[in-house]
Amino acid sequence: MTTALLPYSSLPAERIGVHPPTELPANIRLGTVYLTVANLTRSLDFYQRVLGFALLRQTPATEGQAAVAELGVAGSPAVLVRLQEQPGANPIPRRGRLGIYHLAVLLPTRADLGCFIKHVHSLGVNLGSSDHNYSEATYLTDPDGFTIEVYRDRPRSEWQVSEQGEIQSALDPLDEAGVLQAAGTNHWQGLPAGTTIGHLHFYTGDLRAAAAFYHKALGFDIETWSLSGALFVGAGGYHHHLGLNVWAAGSPAATTADARLLRWELWVPDAVTRDAAATRLQAAGYAVEPTPKGPIATDPWGIRVLLRAEPQPQA
Protein backbone atom coordinates (compact mmCIF):
# COMPACT_ATOMS: atom_id res chain seq x y z
CA MET A 1 0.00 0.00 0.00
CA THR A 2 1.37 3.40 -1.01
CA THR A 3 1.63 5.94 1.79
CA ALA A 4 -0.06 9.25 1.01
CA LEU A 5 2.41 12.12 1.13
CA LEU A 6 1.60 15.59 2.38
CA PRO A 7 3.41 18.93 2.29
CA TYR A 8 5.50 19.34 5.44
CA SER A 9 3.73 22.60 6.25
CA SER A 10 0.30 20.90 6.19
CA LEU A 11 0.88 19.25 9.58
CA PRO A 12 1.23 21.08 12.91
CA ALA A 13 4.58 20.75 14.65
CA GLU A 14 3.23 18.36 17.29
CA ARG A 15 2.27 15.86 14.59
CA ILE A 16 5.68 15.77 12.91
CA GLY A 17 7.93 13.02 14.23
CA VAL A 18 7.70 10.84 17.33
CA HIS A 19 8.19 12.91 20.45
CA PRO A 20 9.90 11.66 23.64
CA PRO A 21 8.52 12.30 27.14
CA THR A 22 10.77 15.37 27.41
CA GLU A 23 12.01 16.75 24.12
CA LEU A 24 14.89 19.05 23.31
CA PRO A 25 13.89 22.60 22.37
CA ALA A 26 13.81 23.63 18.73
CA ASN A 27 16.74 26.03 19.03
CA ILE A 28 19.54 23.55 19.62
CA ARG A 29 22.62 23.44 17.42
CA LEU A 30 25.60 21.18 16.84
CA GLY A 31 28.97 22.60 17.84
CA THR A 32 32.54 21.42 17.45
CA VAL A 33 33.25 17.92 16.15
CA TYR A 34 36.47 16.55 17.72
CA LEU A 35 38.40 14.05 15.57
CA THR A 36 41.63 12.13 15.99
CA VAL A 37 43.70 11.89 12.79
CA ALA A 38 46.96 10.14 11.98
CA ASN A 39 48.76 13.01 10.24
CA LEU A 40 47.74 16.60 10.91
CA THR A 41 49.56 18.08 7.91
CA ARG A 42 47.86 15.62 5.57
CA SER A 43 44.44 16.29 7.09
CA LEU A 44 44.85 20.06 7.01
CA ASP A 45 45.61 19.91 3.30
CA PHE A 46 42.35 18.05 2.72
CA TYR A 47 40.16 20.13 5.04
CA GLN A 48 41.52 23.45 3.78
CA ARG A 49 42.28 22.83 0.10
CA VAL A 50 39.44 20.42 -0.74
CA LEU A 51 36.68 21.26 1.74
CA GLY A 52 37.42 24.96 2.15
CA PHE A 53 37.77 25.21 5.93
CA ALA A 54 39.76 28.12 7.34
CA LEU A 55 42.49 27.36 9.87
CA LEU A 56 41.55 29.34 12.99
CA ARG A 57 44.43 28.24 15.20
CA GLN A 58 47.05 25.52 15.40
CA THR A 59 49.05 24.21 18.35
CA PRO A 60 52.21 22.15 17.77
CA ALA A 61 52.88 18.96 19.65
CA THR A 62 54.73 19.26 22.94
CA GLU A 63 55.71 16.69 25.52
CA GLY A 64 52.47 15.17 26.73
CA GLN A 65 50.34 17.31 24.40
CA ALA A 66 49.16 16.35 20.90
CA ALA A 67 49.28 18.68 17.93
CA VAL A 68 45.87 20.27 17.35
CA ALA A 69 44.22 22.36 14.63
CA GLU A 70 40.89 24.16 14.91
CA LEU A 71 38.92 24.79 11.73
CA GLY A 72 35.94 26.91 10.82
CA VAL A 73 34.75 29.62 8.44
CA ALA A 74 36.92 32.63 7.66
CA GLY A 75 35.76 35.63 9.68
CA SER A 76 33.90 33.59 12.29
CA PRO A 77 35.35 32.48 15.65
CA ALA A 78 33.18 29.33 15.78
CA VAL A 79 35.22 26.10 15.68
CA LEU A 80 33.40 23.56 13.51
CA VAL A 81 36.04 20.80 13.47
CA ARG A 82 38.96 20.20 15.83
CA LEU A 83 41.64 17.81 14.58
CA GLN A 84 43.97 16.15 17.08
CA GLU A 85 47.00 14.32 15.76
CA GLN A 86 47.75 10.78 16.86
CA PRO A 87 50.63 9.44 14.77
CA GLY A 88 50.00 5.85 13.72
CA ALA A 89 46.23 5.97 14.28
CA ASN A 90 44.57 3.25 12.20
CA PRO A 91 42.49 4.41 9.22
CA ILE A 92 38.78 3.64 9.38
CA PRO A 93 37.82 0.57 7.35
CA ARG A 94 34.58 0.97 5.40
CA ARG A 95 31.73 0.09 7.78
CA GLY A 96 34.37 -1.44 10.01
CA ARG A 97 34.02 0.53 13.26
CA LEU A 98 31.10 1.60 15.41
CA GLY A 99 31.27 5.35 15.97
CA ILE A 100 31.12 8.14 13.45
CA TYR A 101 29.92 7.44 9.90
CA HIS A 102 29.99 11.01 8.65
CA LEU A 103 29.89 14.64 9.65
CA ALA A 104 27.77 16.89 7.47
CA VAL A 105 28.71 20.44 6.49
CA LEU A 106 25.61 22.52 5.72
CA LEU A 107 26.04 25.26 3.13
CA PRO A 108 23.60 28.21 3.06
CA THR A 109 22.45 27.99 -0.58
CA ARG A 110 22.16 25.80 -3.65
CA ALA A 111 24.53 28.15 -5.46
CA ASP A 112 27.15 27.51 -2.75
CA LEU A 113 26.80 23.77 -3.34
CA GLY A 114 27.23 24.30 -7.07
CA CYS A 115 30.43 26.28 -6.50
CA PHE A 116 31.70 23.50 -4.24
CA ILE A 117 30.99 20.82 -6.85
CA LYS A 118 32.82 22.83 -9.54
CA HIS A 119 35.77 23.24 -7.18
CA VAL A 120 36.00 19.54 -6.29
CA HIS A 121 35.73 18.52 -9.94
CA SER A 122 38.60 20.88 -10.77
CA LEU A 123 40.76 19.08 -8.21
CA GLY A 124 39.94 15.66 -9.62
CA VAL A 125 38.70 14.44 -6.22
CA ASN A 126 36.15 11.61 -6.18
CA LEU A 127 32.71 12.94 -5.24
CA GLY A 128 29.55 10.99 -4.46
CA SER A 129 26.13 12.62 -4.49
CA SER A 130 22.45 12.10 -3.73
CA ASP A 131 19.11 13.89 -3.57
CA HIS A 132 17.49 13.21 -0.19
CA ASN A 133 14.20 14.99 -0.97
CA TYR A 134 14.73 17.57 1.80
CA SER A 135 18.37 18.20 0.81
CA GLU A 136 20.92 17.89 -1.97
CA ALA A 137 24.14 16.25 -0.83
CA THR A 138 27.67 15.38 -1.88
CA TYR A 139 30.09 13.00 -0.17
CA LEU A 140 33.87 12.77 0.12
CA THR A 141 36.23 10.60 2.16
CA ASP A 142 39.06 12.22 4.09
CA PRO A 143 42.58 10.72 4.40
CA ASP A 144 41.69 8.77 7.58
CA GLY A 145 38.49 7.27 6.17
CA PHE A 146 35.99 9.73 7.70
CA THR A 147 33.13 10.48 5.33
CA ILE A 148 32.30 14.16 4.92
CA GLU A 149 28.91 15.22 3.58
CA VAL A 150 28.61 18.71 2.08
CA TYR A 151 24.97 19.63 1.45
CA ARG A 152 22.29 22.25 1.20
CA ASP A 153 18.75 22.07 2.56
CA ARG A 154 15.64 22.69 0.52
CA PRO A 155 13.16 25.08 2.17
CA ARG A 156 10.82 23.28 4.57
CA SER A 157 7.93 24.30 2.31
CA GLU A 158 9.31 21.75 -0.20
CA TRP A 159 9.66 18.86 2.28
CA GLN A 160 7.14 16.03 2.45
CA VAL A 161 5.69 14.04 5.33
CA SER A 162 3.45 11.00 5.63
CA GLU A 163 0.04 11.15 7.29
CA GLN A 164 1.79 9.68 10.35
CA GLY A 165 4.17 12.65 10.50
CA GLU A 166 7.27 10.89 9.18
CA ILE A 167 9.60 13.21 7.24
CA GLN A 168 10.20 11.62 3.85
CA SER A 169 13.77 10.83 2.82
CA ALA A 170 15.08 9.61 -0.53
CA LEU A 171 18.22 8.33 -2.24
CA ASP A 172 17.60 9.79 -5.68
CA PRO A 173 20.26 10.92 -8.17
CA LEU A 174 21.41 14.49 -7.65
CA ASP A 175 20.41 16.99 -10.33
CA GLU A 176 24.02 18.06 -10.69
CA ALA A 177 23.35 20.09 -13.83
CA GLY A 178 20.72 22.11 -11.97
CA VAL A 179 22.99 22.63 -8.97
CA LEU A 180 25.85 23.79 -11.20
CA GLN A 181 23.49 26.12 -13.06
CA ALA A 182 22.51 27.68 -9.71
CA ALA A 183 26.17 28.59 -9.16
CA GLY A 184 26.31 30.52 -12.43
CA THR A 185 29.75 32.01 -13.04
CA ASN A 186 30.61 32.21 -9.33
CA HIS A 187 33.66 30.39 -8.03
CA TRP A 188 34.41 28.62 -4.75
CA GLN A 189 36.08 30.88 -2.21
CA GLY A 190 36.11 28.45 0.71
CA LEU A 191 33.25 27.74 3.10
CA PRO A 192 30.87 30.72 2.94
CA ALA A 193 29.60 32.71 5.92
CA GLY A 194 26.71 30.89 7.54
CA THR A 195 28.14 27.39 7.05
CA THR A 196 27.44 25.08 10.01
CA ILE A 197 27.69 21.45 11.06
CA GLY A 198 24.21 20.44 9.95
CA HIS A 199 24.14 16.89 11.27
CA LEU A 200 26.18 13.87 12.31
CA HIS A 201 25.62 10.23 11.41
CA PHE A 202 26.71 7.34 13.63
CA TYR A 203 27.25 3.61 13.24
CA THR A 204 25.56 2.02 16.25
CA GLY A 205 25.12 -1.59 17.28
CA ASP A 206 21.36 -1.63 17.91
CA LEU A 207 18.55 0.77 16.92
CA ARG A 208 16.46 0.07 20.02
CA ALA A 209 19.43 0.93 22.26
CA ALA A 210 20.25 3.97 20.09
CA ALA A 211 16.67 5.25 20.43
CA ALA A 212 16.78 4.71 24.20
CA PHE A 213 19.84 6.99 24.48
CA TYR A 214 19.24 9.67 21.85
CA HIS A 215 15.42 9.79 21.78
CA LYS A 216 14.03 8.74 25.15
CA ALA A 217 16.84 10.03 27.40
CA LEU A 218 18.57 12.85 25.50
CA GLY A 219 15.33 14.12 24.01
CA PHE A 220 15.55 14.12 20.20
CA ASP A 221 12.38 13.48 18.19
CA ILE A 222 12.43 10.51 15.79
CA GLU A 223 11.77 12.20 12.45
CA THR A 224 12.22 9.25 10.05
CA TRP A 225 11.80 5.60 11.04
CA SER A 226 11.04 3.63 7.86
CA LEU A 227 14.59 3.55 6.46
CA SER A 228 16.32 0.19 6.27
CA GLY A 229 18.47 -0.17 9.40
CA ALA A 230 18.40 3.50 10.38
CA LEU A 231 16.61 6.14 12.43
CA PHE A 232 16.90 9.88 11.86
CA VAL A 233 16.40 12.05 14.94
CA GLY A 234 16.20 15.82 15.25
CA ALA A 235 14.79 18.77 17.17
CA GLY A 236 12.39 21.48 16.11
CA GLY A 237 11.10 19.47 13.17
CA TYR A 238 14.48 19.38 11.41
CA HIS A 239 14.89 16.34 9.14
CA HIS A 240 17.76 15.09 11.27
CA HIS A 241 20.46 16.39 13.55
CA LEU A 242 21.66 12.81 13.97
CA GLY A 243 21.52 9.70 11.82
CA LEU A 244 21.67 6.39 13.70
CA ASN A 245 22.23 3.19 11.75
CA VAL A 246 23.16 -0.47 12.21
CA TRP A 247 24.95 -0.83 8.88
CA ALA A 248 28.18 -1.78 10.68
CA ALA A 249 26.56 -3.83 13.45
CA GLY A 250 28.90 -6.62 14.55
CA SER A 251 31.99 -4.46 14.03
CA PRO A 252 34.00 -3.36 17.07
CA ALA A 253 33.67 0.12 18.51
CA ALA A 254 36.48 2.52 17.62
CA THR A 255 39.40 2.23 20.04
CA THR A 256 42.24 4.50 21.13
CA ALA A 257 44.35 2.95 18.35
CA ASP A 258 41.97 4.22 15.65
CA ALA A 259 41.25 7.49 13.91
CA ARG A 260 37.96 8.29 15.65
CA LEU A 261 35.43 10.74 16.94
CA LEU A 262 36.57 11.95 20.36
CA ARG A 263 33.32 13.79 21.10
CA TRP A 264 30.76 16.16 19.62
CA GLU A 265 29.04 19.19 21.07
CA LEU A 266 25.31 19.73 21.49
CA TRP A 267 24.44 23.34 22.34
CA VAL A 268 21.15 24.00 24.13
CA PRO A 269 19.62 27.38 25.01
CA ASP A 270 20.48 27.52 28.71
CA ALA A 271 22.01 25.72 31.69
CA VAL A 272 18.60 24.53 32.96
CA THR A 273 17.98 22.65 29.69
CA ARG A 274 21.53 21.28 29.69
CA ASP A 275 21.35 20.03 33.26
CA ALA A 276 17.92 18.48 32.73
CA ALA A 277 19.24 16.49 29.76
CA ALA A 278 22.24 15.33 31.79
CA THR A 279 19.94 14.28 34.64
CA ARG A 280 17.72 12.27 32.28
CA LEU A 281 20.74 10.48 30.82
CA GLN A 282 22.18 9.71 34.24
CA ALA A 283 18.81 8.47 35.54
CA ALA A 284 18.61 6.12 32.56
CA GLY A 285 21.93 4.57 33.59
CA TYR A 286 24.33 6.22 31.17
CA ALA A 287 27.75 7.52 32.19
CA VAL A 288 27.74 11.31 32.63
CA GLU A 289 31.01 13.04 33.50
CA PRO A 290 31.13 16.67 34.71
CA THR A 291 33.72 18.88 32.98
CA PRO A 292 34.41 22.64 33.09
CA LYS A 293 32.66 23.08 29.72
CA GLY A 294 29.65 20.95 30.64
CA PRO A 295 28.65 17.34 31.25
CA ILE A 296 29.82 14.65 28.82
CA ALA A 297 27.51 11.67 28.31
CA THR A 298 28.62 8.42 26.66
CA ASP A 299 26.34 6.23 24.57
CA PRO A 300 26.52 2.38 24.52
CA TRP A 301 29.19 2.43 21.77
CA GLY A 302 31.53 4.96 23.34
CA ILE A 303 30.27 8.00 21.39
CA ARG A 304 30.63 11.00 23.67
CA VAL A 305 28.44 14.12 23.58
CA LEU A 306 29.45 17.30 25.39
CA LEU A 307 26.33 19.18 26.51
CA ARG A 308 26.86 22.92 26.34
CA ALA A 309 24.69 25.88 27.32
CA GLU A 310 24.52 29.05 25.23
CA PRO A 311 25.93 32.06 27.10
CA GLN A 312 23.22 34.22 28.57
CA PRO A 313 23.11 38.02 28.03
CA GLN A 314 24.33 40.03 30.96
CA ALA A 315 21.57 41.72 32.97
Average pLDDT for residues 29-52, to the nearest whole number?
A: 98
Quick check: is 25 in a domain?
yes
φ/ψ of residue 138, rounded to 5 = -125, 160
**Residue 103 burial by Cβ neighbours in a 10 Å radius (0-12, 13-18, 19+):** buried
pTM of the model: 0.96
Q: Is residue 13 part of a domain?
A: no
**Residue 1's pLDDT band (boundaries 50, 70, 90)?**
very low
- Give the residue from 154, 48, 139 showing the smallest Cα distance to 101: 139
Asked whether the beta carbons of 278 and 297 are under 8 A apart, the reply is: yes
Q: What is the pLDDT of residues 98-144, one digit of tens each?
A: 999 999 999 999 999 999 999 999 999 999 999 999 999 999 999 99
Tally the domains of the chain.
1
- What proportion of the chain, given as a percentage, has pLDDT over 70? 99
Range of the domain at 256: 18-309
Q: Give domain status of residue 286, yes or no.
A: yes
Mean pLDDT of the 17-42 span:
97
Q: Is residue 251 part of a domain?
A: yes
**Residue 290, CA distances (Å) to 65, 84, 238, 307 in order:** 22, 22, 29, 10
Kindly state whether residue 153 falls inside one of the protein's structural domains.
Answer: yes
The residue that leads in pLDDT, 93 or 283, is 283
CA gap 12, 281 in Å, rounded: 29
Max CA pair span of the chain: 64
314 pLDDT more than 90: no
Q: What is the pLDDT of residues 234-292, one digit of tens each?
A: 999 999 999 999 999 999 999 999 999 999 999 999 999 999 999 999 999 999 999 99
What is the domain-level CATH number for residue 274?
3.10.180.10
What mean pLDDT comes out for the span 224-228? 96
Any domain includes 207: yes
**What is the CA 110 to chain-centroid distance, rounded?**
19
